Amino acid sequence: MRTTFLIFFGLALGLSRALFADLPPDEVHQCTRHGIICDVLDSPTAAPFIYKPGKICPIQRQDLKSVRVPYWANETQLKMGMLIVHQDIAERVRDIFVEIAMSSSPERVIYRIDEIMQTFDGDDAHSMAANNTSSFNCRTTPGSSRLSQHAYGLAIDINPLWNPYVKTRKGQTTVLPPEGRLYDGVTAERDPKDSRLLRADHLIVTTFKKYGFKWGGDWRSLKDYQHFEIETKK
């Protein structure tokens, strides 16, 4: 038993070193310790798009945390990205992304996580078209005046270009972002062998569900393949 344990530990240690080989020493330390959580107020670039003049958000700044998470930028390069989420789920989000990054699954998923969306000034359309993975954004759900779970910091959109929002009504199909039609499952089939496309048995989907998130790909009235949310704030 002891020999088996030592072999397993050695394999796990080797995997960890391989995963983080390209990161600077300080980031390796942070990542292998399950990342760090910093108050969003420590990041002044967050302010312009989070609380624009005249924009009413349902939560306060102090309710938010920024979470540094590991992600695969390509098949061999592991990076650190930043997501802003509600403080109640910050540690959970951190653990989800660490678990996905450290998985031995051959299905290595490539992300783009732009640091706290400042590049897009909070513009969700531009963020989705750029295939940016994001979380908090004080906005409504598509085509309605109802606040999105993103406005509460309780939702995450992953690779939205490859995993678009798709709704068909009266024969008309809306795809967001529009550039995602190549992957919408209506005008084009979603290839089950393409690891970029989320599906029910995908590593990302099963990991998020394990931590209590709901997936928009399970919805009946529409499909929001990019979307994961926690329903605890209204």
3 state SS for 171-215: CEEEEECHHHHHHCCCCCCCCCCCCCCCCCCCHHHHHHHHCCCEE
Residue by residue, pLDDT tens for the chain (234 residues) are 444 433 333 433 344 444 444 444 444 444 444 334 443 434 434 443 444 445 567 887 778 888 888 887 777 777 788 888 898 999 899 889 888 888 866 555 666 665 455 567 778 888 899 888 988 888 888 878 888 999 899 999 999 999 999 999 888 999 999 999 999 998 888 888 888 899 999 999 999 999 999 999 999 999 999 999 998 655
Report the pLDDT value the prediction gives residue 107, as an integer from 0 to 100. Answer: 56
Neighbours of 55 (CB within 10 A): 12
Q: Report long-range pairs for 199-203 (Cβ below 8 Å, ≥24 apart).
A: 202/107, 202/109, 203/100, 203/103, 203/105, 203/107, 203/109
Report the pLDDT value the prediction gives residue 159, as an integer from 0 to 100. Answer: 92
Residue with tokens 């406005």: 151
Report the pLDDT value the prediction gives residue 119, as an integer from 0 to 100. Answer: 65
Q: Which residue, among 194, 209, 201, 139, has the nearest Cα to 161 in the 3D structure?
A: 194
Report the pLDDT value the prediction gives residue 167, as an integer from 0 to 100. Answer: 94
Residue with tokens 């802003």: 84
Q: Counting Cβ atoms within 10 Å, is residue 100 exposed (0-12), middle (13-18) or buried (19+)?
A: buried
**Strand partners of residue 215:** 228
Distance in angstroms (rounded) separating the CA atoms of residues 155 and 136: 7
Distance in angstroms (rounded) separating the CA atoms of residues 175 and 167: 7
Helix, strand, or coil (residue 208): helix
Report the pLDDT value the prediction gives residue 227, as an integer from 0 to 100. Answer: 97
Q: Quick one: DSSP state of residue 134? A: B
Report the pLDDT value the prediction gives residue 175, as an integer from 0 to 100. Answer: 95
Structure tokens belonging to residue 220: 């009946």
Length of the chain equals 234
Distance in angstroms (rounded) separating the CA atoms of residues 225 and 162: 9
Give the amino acid at 42: D
Q: Which stretch of DSSP H or E encloses residue 68?
A: strand 64-72
pTM assigned to the model: 0.78
Report the pLDDT value the prediction gives residue 197, as an integer from 0 to 100. Answer: 92
Report the pLDDT value the prediction gives residue 9, as an integer from 0 to 100. Answer: 33
Neighbours of 232 (CB within 10 A): 12
Q: What angle do CA 88, 90, 93 make, to 5 degrees?
A: 120
